[in-house]
Amino acid sequence: MKIKVVVNDLMQNDHTYYITQPIGENFDAEFKPDLSPKEMLSMGVFGGKYMTDCRDEFPKDWYENAKLCHEFHDPQLNYFKINASKPLSYWIAKGWIHPQDPRGWFQWYCRYYIGRRSDDDKRQIKRWKQMIRHIAQIKKNCPKGFIDCRRKQRQALLHWAYDSRKF
């Protein structure tokens, strides 16, 4: 299986990659996200601003219940109703943006989820795993099931496909 994808959106023109795995399958053994990109978009992530111009690249059903706002970042669209994002310029300055995914980790995850595998997978999975420090802080400081505790950390975890409602 090898499907060619050509991307033409606001950040990439004629960018090509290949889908080599079935959607949602054959993930690295160390990568076990709680949420799919579709679930994340429907819950509310990145103030609704993220990837509003990418509808042609990803499955249409991802956008059916997505909380999106093409015009501006609206924290009220986030599941925890709080801003837990840094601007793209911050991520670029830190050197965390790979040219093949100029929008960052979530774009990488969306493409990984639909079956792309790339030379950046190990780095992105390592970054995903580093988010567990926030899980430890929530478990230490919040009563189980009290999702209003540490909302900013919980929203940040949601941005990384962790479901903090479980702890």
> Which pLDDT tens digit goes with each residue over 54-96?
999 999 999 999 999 999 999 999 999 999 988 889 989 998 8
Please report whether residue 137 resides in a domain.
no
Q: What are phi and psi of 130, to 5 degrees?
A: -70, -15
Please report whether residue 161 resides in a domain.
no
Please report whether residue 155 resides in a domain.
no
- The arithmetic mean of pLDDT across residues 142-160, rounded, is 95
Please report whether residue 91 resides in a domain.
yes
Kindly indicate the confidence band of residue 37, based on its pLDDT and cuts at 50, 70 and 90.
Answer: very high
Q: Which DSSP state fits 134?
A: H
Please report whether residue 138 resides in a domain.
no
Question: What is residue 167's predicted lDDT score, i.e. its pLDDT?
Answer: 86
- 118/125 Cα distance (integer angstroms): 12
Please report whether residue 49 resides in a domain.
yes
- The arithmetic mean of pLDDT across residues 145-165, rounded, is 96
Domain extent for 110: 3-130
Judge contact between 150 and 131, C-beta under 8 A: no
Please report whether residue 149 resides in a domain.
no
> Which pLDDT tens digit goes with each residue over 87-141?
889 989 998 899 999 999 999 999 999 999 999 999 999 999 999 999 999 999 9
Residue 43 pLDDT exceeds 90: yes
Question: What is residue 1's predicted lDDT score, i.e. its pLDDT?
Answer: 78
Q: How many domains are there within the chain?
A: 1
Please report whether residue 95 resides in a domain.
yes
How many alpha carbons fall within 13 Å on the CB side of residue 53? 11
Predicted TM-score (pTM) of the model is 0.95
Judge contact between 63 and 57, C-beta under 8 A: no
- The arithmetic mean of pLDDT across residues 14-19, rounded, is 98
